Each structure stands twice: as structure tokens, then as C-alpha cells.
Homo-oligomer: A and B are copies of this chain.
Amino acid sequence: MEQAFLQFLATQKQTLSAEGVGIGDDAAVLAWPADSKLVVCTDLISDETDFHLADVTPQQIGRKALAINLSDIAAMACQPVGALLTLLLPQGEGSLQLAQGIYQGAAELGAQFACPIIGGDTNSWPGKVAVSVTVLGQSLAGKPLLRSGAQPGDAIFVTGQLGGSIWRHHLDFTPRVHEALQLTQACSLTAGMDISDGISIDLPRLCQQSDVGAEIDVRLLPLSADAQKMSEKTGKPAWWHGLNDGEDFELLFTVPQREADQLVAQWTNATPITRIGTIRHERELTMLGEDGTRQPLLPEGFSHH
């Protein structure tokens, strides 16, 4: 199977810079611009944990495996440069087709973000399918965006809409690479991350790294139609799903108070940005509930990590 898949790979064109070397040597080679930081992230998804093989296409698996990594690169406000795709495949018939589909799903998404598949590793084993992706990115303007820079008084924003991503969004979301790069141009981002486990879990992580607290207003959360759908199913309020559901893969970021209004006024990207709260000096995390009362923000989401 591996030989047949390598032959398939040889037919796939991946564009690399003139000095680059892609699949076919012991390692991929990339030229690196001076004064540009390298960022690198890796994430694995596996059958029965992150998807069910019977319910998805191979292309969706490959797309998602790359997309969650591109989301991490976006969270650093960096430009993706290339990806490594490692496959762990069940032995037997169908695994070549599975491998090709996963590759195609990843390669198609990569092409949309100038992120070719530059290497990887393919393995068969007596187990289920898992896909590990590593993405390299580079900082374009100044430093990569970290979780650690938020200051008391900063406005807290999110991109897009939140909640109910388990329905569909977790398989077809668009990593916010373009939005992140546009944000770095539009304002002085102080901290950022992507929302993978839900704001109620991820915002505390950002606050911990920044040594600050935060207060959000649940009435400001931009809710997806799927958050409403989940609400009808569970009986919990839609905002609860916006706050706690995982796999939104939107950006959570902070901006100095004085720039917040202007950022909103000037933002023209089709992906909305919404201010949901404020960074505070006190280390506690609070939220204003539906009725405006202040209460603790509890990590009720599902943690992947």
C-alpha cells in the first residue's frame, strides 16, 4: 500500500519555492526569510475520538486534520508555509483509497492557504485510522501573537459565530488565517488563541498565560444557528452552547481598549468580529449572565487536552 500511495503522491503537484525540496528526500527543505520567526504546531485526529470513519469522507478527515493546525497558525497570526501529513492506516483493502482521499482533502484546503503538503509519513497497521499533521508558519509582521500579552482593560473579541459546531462546523470550518493577518494590520493585538474547547475553557488559558482575569457578557456572544439547534435539543440556553461547546475554531483575541471601537468600525472582512468582554486585573473569571448579573465563569466545556 505505501508504495502505491507514494506513486500516487508523485503525481500530485505541490508548489514549492525554487530553492525548496518536497516529498522524496529524507527531509523537506525550505528557504527561510531573514527576520521572520518560525512557528510550528502539530495536531492528531483519530477514528472514534475525533470522527467516526463510517460517518465522514476521507476528504473530510484530511481537511479537518490540516484545518485544526491552520487554526493554530492563525492563532499565532502567522502565514502557513507548508504541512507534513502522517497517516496511520488500517491494513487491507481500501486503505489506498482512504490515504488518497485524506491527502486530497488536506491538499485542497492547503492550496487555499498557500500551504502545500511538503512531506509526511505513511504507515499501515492492525488498528484504526489516525492522521497527524504538522504545519510550519512564519511571522510576517513583527512577532507571532502569543497567549501571554493581554493587559487589564483590553477588549476581548471573537471572530465568527459560536456554538453547536459538533453538527457540521467542526468538519467544514474555515481556519481564520486571513482574518488573523488582517487583524495584525488593523490593530495592536495583545494576545490571541483559537477556540478549540470552548471559551469557558480557552479564555482561562489565555488569562493564565497573561496573568490577568476577564469578564465577558454572555448577551454579547455571537451565536450560530447551530447553537440554537443545540439549545432546542438540550434545553440549555443557546448562549450556554456558545460559551461551552468545543470545536468552533474561531479566534479569541485581545485589543487595547482605545483601539477597540475603531477596529469594529473599520472591519470590512466578511467574517464578523464581536467584542464579548474585557480583560481585568483581578485574576478571577466572571460573566454577566442573561439577566445582567455577575457570576463566576465556569469551565463547563469539553476539554480535548
Contacts and interface: CB of A to CB of B under 8 A. Distances in A.
Contact of A40 (B41, B84, B127, B132): B84
Contacts of A144: 21, 27, 29
Which residue, A6, A21, A38, A147, has most C-beta atoms of chain B within 10 A?
Answer: A38
B42 A86 contact: yes
Contact of A76 (B27, B38, B125, B146): B27
A10 to B, nearest CB: 11
A126 interface: yes
Contacts of A43: 121
Contacts of A73: 26-27
Interface of A: 2-3, 6, 19, 21, 24-32, 34-44, 46-49, 72-73, 75-76, 78, 82, 84, 86, 88, 118-128, 130, 132, 134, 136-137, 139, 144, 146-148, 193-194, 209, 303-305
A269 B37 CA distance: 35
A39 B19 contact: no
Nearest to A122: B305
A139 B30 CA distance: 10
Number of copies: 2
Nearest to A143: B29
6 contacts: A2-B303, A25-B147, A26-B147, A38-B136, A40-B119, A41-B119
A39 B19 CA distance: 12
Contact of A3 (B35, B123, B137, B303): B303
A3 B19 CA distance: 41
Contact of A30 (B37, B46, B72): B37
A120 B136 CA distance: 13
Given A28-B40, A32-B32, 18 more contacts: A19-B37, A25-B146, A25-B147, A27-B41, A27-B76, A27-B144, A28-B39, A29-B39, A31-B37, A41-B119, A42-B84, A42-B134, A43-B121, A48-B127, A49-B123, A49-B126, A125-B128, A132-B132
B46 A125 contact: yes
Contacts of A36: 32
Nearest to A28: B40
A40 B26 contact: no
A56 to B, nearest CB: 16
Which residue, A46, A120, A132, has most C-beta atoms of chain B within 10 A?
Answer: A132
Contact of A305 (B3, B34, B47, B119): B3
Contact of A194 (B21, B26, B121, B146): B26
Contacts of A209: 24-25
A84 B39 CA distance: 12
